[in-house]
Structure 1
Amino acid sequence: MTDEGSDTDAAGHSAEAELALVAHDLRTPLNAMRLTAELIAQGPLQPQQQERLGILLDAIDALSAMTGDLIQRGRSKQATGPQKPNEDARLILQSVHDLFAAVAERKRLDLIVTLTEQPLLLTQQVAIAFRRIVTTLLDNALKYTQRGSIRLDLAPATEPGQLQLVVTDTGPGIDVLERSRLFRPFTRGTAGRAGGSGSGLGLWGARALVEQAGGHLDLTTAPGGGCRFAIELPLADRPGEGTAASREANVEAHVLIVDDNDTNRRLLSALLESFAMTSDQAGSGAAAVAMAARTPYDAVLMDLHMPGMTGMEAAEALRHGPDGARLPLIAVTAALEAVGDRRLRQAGFQEVLAKPLSPSHLYQALELARQRRKLRMAEQVVDA
């Protein structure tokens, strides 16, 4: 006699194993793509080429993370690996925006992103789901919106411990009578069928991912008749903040970010937050010198190519400031070949990072800042 429940479990396990196998096979071309992109990055590139190559690398890494998640699901629960660090939803959203920015520009659509100042940390599993959800909704919005704008507004939700992302477009919208059935697999609405080819899996997959992550998705009509998707997802648990002294002790480092580009500063700040580091931001070399004279920093991340006072000039000025001889300076540049290592050392830089930044390389370079923080904390204990 056949156990129907056992047959169902076996079929489900087989499907997961087959999906994991496909994901495993996808890793080979993905690894080849990333290696090729890294080789391209070693050659002389224009700043715009560097920026586009960074978007390509982000897209490859996102696909690699998705395939890794599928492979992990195909394994037994006992085979789980080490816990990966939390990811900032702001960085993920900015990365997806960059991936689609060229499509929006080609269609002459305004693609607007608003981000909260505070970090919105997600566990690795929720972060992967969040990236896939945003990618799906933004892809749909760009496909069916012919004029106007698409907005992505990210902020903490009203309910504590949740984030809210609202995706709004000025497209044709979805009729109220069609909404419920459009969340079924292989189902397309009137606007979708009129707009060209499609699988009818996007909205069904997005809702499934939201629910699997413990969140909620709501579809309403946007002002003007387009679509408004509101997604709520759980944030990663954060330890209690404690007293000001304990917060100071738990900070890995306090870093000054110097870059004339506001987006670059915000992205670096978000990365530092994920490393348990705090930061201040300066939009020019002159501002950085003034801030360093007032505040003790554990390191400075300095863009080299800025109007007015260049990064080289700012570094030399910082070297003559308070405690300048011991302040770790890290250069950040998209034109690495244009500055020689000897010249950087003479200006006082201990490390140099090439744009687009690799989070792992940034983390390694900031070891100088962590050592600086430990030294400062030890000196404070002795003085006390």
Structure 2
Amino acid sequence: MGYAADTNARISPAWLFVMPVFLAFAVFLIAVPYPIIKPPVNLLGEACYFYSETQDEYPNLQQMAEAQKCDGMPAPSHETVWLSIDTAELSPEIGTEYKLVLFRHWVEGATVRFQYSDGTAVGYDLGPYDFDKHWSVGNFVTFDAPARESAVEHIYLGLDNPSSIKLFRQLNFVKATDWQQREVTGHLIISLIIGGLFAMLLYNISLATTLRFGFHLQYCLFVFSIFVYTVMAYGVFAYFMPGVLTVGQQMNITILALGLNGISGLLFLSAFIEKGIFPNWWNRFIVWAGVPFVLCSILYVTARGWHADTIDLAFNLLALGGILVILISLIIAIPRGSRSAVFYAAGWLLPVFGVTIRILRGLDVIPHSALTEFAMPIGMALETVILSLGIADRISQIRRERDAAQIATQEAKAANEAKSNFLARMSHEIRTPLNAIIGLSELTATTDLNDKQRSYVGNIKASGDILLALINDILDFSKIEAGKLDLERTAFNPAAVFEVARTIVEPRMLEKGLALDIRGLDALPRKLYGDPTRLSQIIINLANNAVKFTERGSVTITVSCTDRTDGKAFLNCAVTDTGIGMTEEEKGRLFQSFSQADETIARRYGGTGLGLAICKQLVEMMDGHISVESTPGVGSTFKFNLLLDLPEANAPQQAQTNGEPAGASVSLKGAHILLAEDNPVNRMIALKLLDAAGIKTDVAEDGLEAVSRASATRYDAILMDLQMPGLDGTAAAAKLRETDISKQVPIIAMTANVSEKDRELCMKAGMNDHIPKPFKPDELYATLAKWLN
């Protein structure tokens, strides 16, 4: 598709839009502070831990804490895992309300105990549906430590059936006022993110249902997965619908959303990038690379518990693999000039950039703020915007390509029409003098000539026949290329078609001293349905080709018929000669337009190289196959088969044809016809041939004269040229059909206009038949006999 050309020029408009988005994102997250007054200390790494049996009440936590460990992290357990936190180092202020803030963990229950220095305690006991009551923006849960005259000196946090303590990630003890300041900004940010995602989802669903591009549907699935993940993972669902789902059920939906996000993102990548950028095998690999994401998310949901750490590791490895697949795909696509890849890269890098910002925030490299806390969902939301703009650009690109393709198709159609018109006009202009050449040579051959004169006349006629065959081949090839060659379906006797071919080919074979043998005719069915004219053309073409390249020996045509059970039959034919044969390399050039086995063949034997190409296309149009076997110096065998219809049982018998008009043997002597022909040479030839058959002929030199004569005299038939001064042949025929005296008279077009369009115009004008120029005497007599019968 030419994507590699002028890569910089094609990518730069997209980059001009994408780069400012990145810069704005970075400034928004880093330069705009909204800081929490004092960055909270993550207490998770300092917490000690111990275990106890899960129970409703824990009377003496201090006594149980005597067995606590302070090295490493606790492992997942079916018991209650306790985190023991000493807050003395935080120096909590007396009379100040604090909050215990922890990243909401996917557990079945939790117990919180604040121990004050005066010996009092405040506790919270949470079941599976109780976590949402303590939800805080950003998917945190917070527990109030009320202001007292004494400070909090110890915190106990018990977790029932945790999958992994590592998933906490954050545990803070902060002033309530500081956290409330963070919540105001957080609520605003998460609302904007969710609202933006929801708007993008609805907008693109409406577009996808209207435009129906495959990649648009996959993009909608991708946005839907991000929307569900954000709503669940960042606690929005818990805030608006508390207690509807357990914390475990919310986690399951979050994990499934991640699986959908993985496969939809890769499917979108495969469909979104322009066709031809990726090899087919890589496209298939991208699609299949998303399947493990779904399988792993389903496994995570069904086997959560003891195996959660292992599955979590597998999920992370899959995510890393997906990143590599996307990275390799972009490395392939962008240098090849893919605009879609630029948009995909920009959108994909935004959440990656957001994760990086959050990591740097955790390492205290950049300031703490609510914005940096939400860097990842902000990046994901902006990703959907960038990809939506990329889709708009892709659709515009597709429309431009379609418009260009439509224009190219119209131009090709116009060029093809111009070529057809040119060929038709040139055919007419060549056939008119060629008719005179062939006709006069045939008439001259009937006079008294010496041997030298007869040889000259014979060469003139042979040259005319070769030129006529060339014109017919070019016209046939042009019609096949344009898809305008229609096949007939008529009843015919296949043996008769081969016999007609024999009469045409045999005279030339006798001149070269060759023998012609046609085998298998007796075993053929009496009737088949198909196009006998095109079958005859294939046989004669292959037989003439065999004669051309055979200097001594014979040409053998073997034919058979193989019935099928579906009312059809294969007509099988092989044309074998003892000629010059071909090498494998020469065979490879056969059946191609204007191509012959060897360039020297055209100079030695003549021909255009169209004959075999036409045969191949005709055979394939009749659901058949053609092939060749050849040995240099020994000869060649051309084999073909055609799929033809068998006559139905109990079907009425139809008149069979072997290529000759019915009634060809009827005597023409005494018939009275009108010849309308403006060309004096063609008129003279036709008059001589008609006179030789004993036909009385009146002449009209233009269309107006033809109408005048035919309106006054009842003729047995009218031979009408098409292109005449004053009134052309079709207009004259139409006028004659309006008169009472000429309504039933056969009107036969006799013209050099031989296209199917010209035939149709003749029939619409009221003509009965069509004789192309140049014509042979037998063809003229047979057509007249058909209509005078």
With structure 1 as the length reference, what TM-score do the two structures score?
Answer: 0.48
- Which of these two proteins has the greater Rg computed from alpha carbons? 2
With structure 2 as the length reference, what TM-score do the two structures score?
Answer: 0.26
Specify which structure has the bigger relative contact order, considering alpha-carbon pairs within 8 angstroms and separated by 6 or more residues: 1
